[in-house]
Amino acid sequence: MEINLTKKIYAHISAIGGYVPENKRTNHDLELITDTSDEWIVKRTGIKERRILEEGLATSDMAVNAIKNLIETYNKDINDVDAIIVATSTPDMLMPSTANIICGKLGIENVWAFDINAACSGFLYALDMGASLVETNRYKNVLVVGADKISAYVNINDRSTNILFGDGAGVVWLEPTKEIGVIDALLLSNGTGKEFLNIEGGGSLYPPSQDSLEKEKTYIKQDGKVVFKNAINAMSHTCLDVLDKNNLSVSDINWLVPHQANKRIIDAVGKEINIEENKTLINIEHYGNTIAATIPLCIWENSSKLKKGDLLMLTAFGAGFSWGASLLRWTI
């Protein structure tokens, strides 16, 4: 049988959803716990508050709420889904995967479901993976989730991290199209940054133990300055490289959606690539850094601004280091 190579199938986003927990942790709350101030946090990070998931609930619960939000908003049928990819660094458990747990909570089966851990770049990795599945024509409806309960790993007494992180989940539904939707991505990883941003404990190197607890290995730790500089450099270069690869220029971009880690990083990337300020989507003020959830949450919150056909450039940077940039046409 001959394969018709002329009928290229693309993936496009046909629906989007999001969820953040009700409970807020404000800068004023943190002033009561550590030596910091609302003024310092806003000036140095752009963050005013973050959302914190209650104890007893996990990453999958936020993901399920985001998926339910998508289904209700776009009138989708969960039974049509044939693959679920969850980008997370904070799975409910080491096994089974959070994607698998989500299937159980949604009551679906016959779904290929798995997690991807690429830290703060996870959503972009998962989006590219999901788009690739759709392009094979073997998967027609793929959910790509970015979700993290990073508050479970934040040392509330550590002002170098407690000001930055919050919990949340975002999801997109990918489907096949003959028009282009997801265009391209450059996703990279170098393994040189693990000492500068990590959660060491709980894995096979430092399994859960009294020693790990005493050495505080279960907390997220970072050298903010090193991460900051690398983030600006890597995101700016990759944005320009992915544009170049696709014969596009910055002026073609309608919206830049950067990972929301620090407003100063976002501003610096915008300046480096020379994009007009009002083209950058930002929601860090209310949620802080929600790891793999920042990009889908930011698009979801701003989706009323987006027009069909708009060109979006997404870019992220995170632990490892891992980073990347993706290009897509908005098709909703």
Q: Which of 27, 103, 289, 298 is catalytic?
A: 289
| Whether residue 289 lies in the annotated active site | yes
Phi, psi angle pair for 133, to nearest 5°: -60, -45
Q: Which is nearer to ligand UT7, 245 or 264 (CB)?
A: 264
**How many residues interact with ligand UT7 (rule CB under 6 A)?**
22
The residue within the footprint of ligand UT7, chosen from 120, 144, 239, 292 (CB under 6 A), is 120
Can you tell me the distance from the alpha carbon of 61 to that of 259, in angstroms, rounded to the nearest whole number? 22
Q: Cα–Cα distance between 326 and 328 in angstroms, integer?
A: 7
H/E element holding 147? strand 142-148
The closest alpha carbon to 89, from 191, 204, 187, 200, belongs to: 200
3-state secondary structure of 269: helix
- Binding mask 31-50 toward ligand UT7 (x if CB under 6 A, else -) reads -----x---x---xx-----
Closest distance of CB 74 from ligand UT7, Å: 29
Is residue 237 flagged as an active site residue? Answer: no
Among residues 58, 197, 242, 298, the one that binds ligand UT7 under rule CB under 6 A: 197
Binding to ligand UT7 in span 303-332, by CB under 6 A:
317-318
Q: Which residues contact 54 (CB under 8 A, 6 or more apart)?
A: 21, 23
Structure tokens that stand for 54 in this block: 């209650």
Which parts of 210-269 interact with ligand UT7 (CB under 6 A)?
222, 224-225, 227-228, 231, 259, 261-262, 265
Q: Which residues bind ligand UT7 (CB under 6 A)?
A: 36, 40, 44-45, 120, 159-160, 163, 197, 222, 224-225, 227-228, 231, 259, 261-262, 265, 289, 317-318
Catalytic residue ranges: 120, 259, 289
